[in-house]
Structure 1
């Protein structure tokens, strides 16, 4: 396997898509799949799939394909999904609750270990097996429960303060859903999910597609 520093972010970003596809194949009872089959399902060039996997070792058998369960396990290990990371979700609004209830998180090996909020009405309520804790006790609970990943699901004005609290508590990674750019140390990897950006991009493509349709309709009417 090559050093991680020599592997592009694009390759790393494709690995979860391969893993998810393999999970679905496994659920369907499919034991062997070719790179062509994987590529067809996730719209990635088969040659790119083979190139990406080659960074991490030799997988599959020429003329046969990949053994689904074996490759799923290998990619899961590469992604660190076999380590069972503990997660804390901060912000029990609609988004935070949805994330805490999302069953896909558990399937990937992540465990919701703590829930936090500042609202006295919310603190003390239960969500599944977990009680919503006061964010004032974040540091102690993170240490006590061995939490490694913090999920930020609070309004933008509070996001940086929450990030600072998480980092001070020893969180190793952050998943941010607040629509704001966070300032975090280079040693703390973080991923931001800005829902407004995705919706705005979709709106752009829909708008311009509609404009092209209107122009084509006008042209046909003139003819």
Structure 2
């Protein structure tokens, strides 16, 4: 569901298209599920279906990784998990700070998938003095006054912004000034960042609006189909009637 612009694609110099990079996490998620079920190999068709892409696109994406599979056998699941994890940089520990510990920030802090995917929540930060010291997901919240020191002490390069829209740009500026080069933005606003900083935006309202568009289109198509059926039925009824609109007195045997 993450959307937004990428200012400095880290893998472009390696010849991997940005569209392929965006699909790698989908493959990894599907492969991880297979690995957890102890499935040793998977065909391109099966993996493509699990990831929601077509198999030709999957094979093209994997060719950038140097992985072609074995004809009649498929892809080695564990090896692909390692390959994709390495390409995404998930074989190392990435310390992350979450700024803004409201309902959304707290939910992110409690998300159990960070550690298993190569990310470690190094700190939770909030501007409310009343939040300072309170544990969330077992981590004490720290005040924004400590933001720069926290980033430097933990070597943080990824920041998550879950603040209200009005505070997001200021928080972003401080993160960037402190050395953060990648930002995941949950605030409902567009952030301005310098070259060399990657921003990914997650906006639930936009995703819901897109779904609403598709629902409206499907409803229109169904209504149109219903109208066409009614028109066809009306033409059929007219064909069965006489010149004055009455049913013919003599019906065919």
- What TM-score comes out, normalization by structure 1 length? 0.93
**1:150 correspondence with 2:150:** no
Worse-superposed segment, 83-92 or 55-64: 55-64
The alignment partner of 1:30 has SS state of coil
C-alpha distance in structure 2 between counterparts of 1:78 and 1:215, whole Å:
47
Deviation at 1:218, TM superposition (A): 4.3
**1:162 correspondence with 2:171:** yes
Q: Which residue of 198, 203, 206 maps to 1:194?
A: 203
Residue in structure 2 matched with residue 123 of structure 1 by the alignment:
132
Residue correspondence of structure 1 range 1-223 to structure 2 within 5 A: 4-5=12-13, 6-221=15-230, 223=233
Deviation at 1:131, TM superposition (A): 0.6
C-alpha RMSD of matched pairs (Å): 1.5
C-alpha distance in structure 1 between counterparts of 2:37 and 2:221, whole Å:
40
Residues 10-40 of structure 1, C-alpha deviations (whole Å, 9 max, x = no match) = 1110111111110000011101111111012
Structure showing greater Rg: 2
C-alpha distance in structure 1 between counterparts of 2:49 and 2:104, whole Å:
32
CA contact (8 A) 2:65 2:83 kept: no
Deviation at 1:80, TM superposition (A): 0.3
C-alpha distance in structure 2 between counterparts of 1:93 and 1:158, whole Å:
13
CA contact (8 A) 1:159 1:180 kept: yes
The higher-RCO structure (CA 8 Å, 6+ apart) is 2
C-alpha distance in structure 2 between counterparts of 1:39 and 1:74, whole Å:
17
Unaligned runs of 5+ in 1: none
